[in-house]
Amino acid sequence: MLLAAAAVLGIVGGVAVGYGVQAEREPTPLPPLNQVDLAYPAKPAAKGQEPPALAVADDRGLKTEGDLRKLLLPKPAGAKDVDYAPEDHWLSASSYAEDFESPSGAFEYLMDNGIRRIATTSWQVGEFKTVHINLLQFRSNDRLGAADRATTLREGLEEENGYGQPLKGSTEGRSYVLPVDREAGFVDVYEARAVVHRGDVAVEVYILDTKKISQKEITSLAERQLGRL
């Protein structure tokens, strides 16, 4: 119960400070267009023939138009389900917003930025270690919701934890190992996070444990999740 409470508080504190930073910062130029790379068929068409249709492997956008939950990392062998996680792996915008200090403000932010759907997964390894992953998909419009969500969370984390470790396969993805949360009478809580976006999907990765979490572990986990998009 202590770890579950710490997990929720850790997620709340981190993502909430991101929105605080966003609200206080000066206006900044818009980020680059939130657009997946142009995709081409594996083999070019012969002269006079119709070009072959793009396969899912050739077009990243086709992956995220299907069941977004299938792009979540699978639960590792031996890991256990987490009681507070939704069984169907869908998370409503209102439920997601409830974990913030200002749920109404968080919900309004999501709506304004064109939130489309949220896929989520959680698992527990051993007695304490918990992993939580969110895939937030935004509608394609001029608000660039996925890029904005990733930037907001990243800036909030960097304000207190430095630049972070770059993620392979991304120009702006980062992973962070946070300082231990130590309080008399409670177990020490260690936390690591990663944030990145690809196309219209923002990725949030969390690890919580009572033992120190390595930078390599959170980075590898985030890179494997990014590789599925």
Identify whether the C-beta of residue 172 lies closer than 8 Å to the C-beta of residue 154: yes
Distance in angstroms (rounded) separating the CA atoms of residues 183 and 170: 36
Output 20 or 113, whichever has higher pLDDT. Answer: 113
Which pair of tokens denotes residue 158? Answer: 């960097």
Give per-residue pLDDT as tens, 37-50: 444 455 655 655 65
Which H helix or E strand runs over 203?
A: strand 201-209
Q: Is 0.85 surpassed by the pTM of this model?
A: no
Identify whether the C-beta of residue 213 lies closer than 8 Å to the C-beta of residue 165: no
Give 102's pLDDT tier (boundaries 50, 70, 90): very high
Integer distance in angstroms from the first to the last C-alpha of the chain? Answer: 33
Q: What is the mean pLDDT of residues 99-113?
A: 93
Give per-residue pLDDT as tens, 146-205: 999 999 999 999 998 899 999 999 999 999 999 999 999 999 999 999 999 999 999 999
Give per-residue pLDDT as tens, 11-70: 444 444 443 434 444 444 444 444 444 444 556 556 556 555 544 444 556 677 889 999
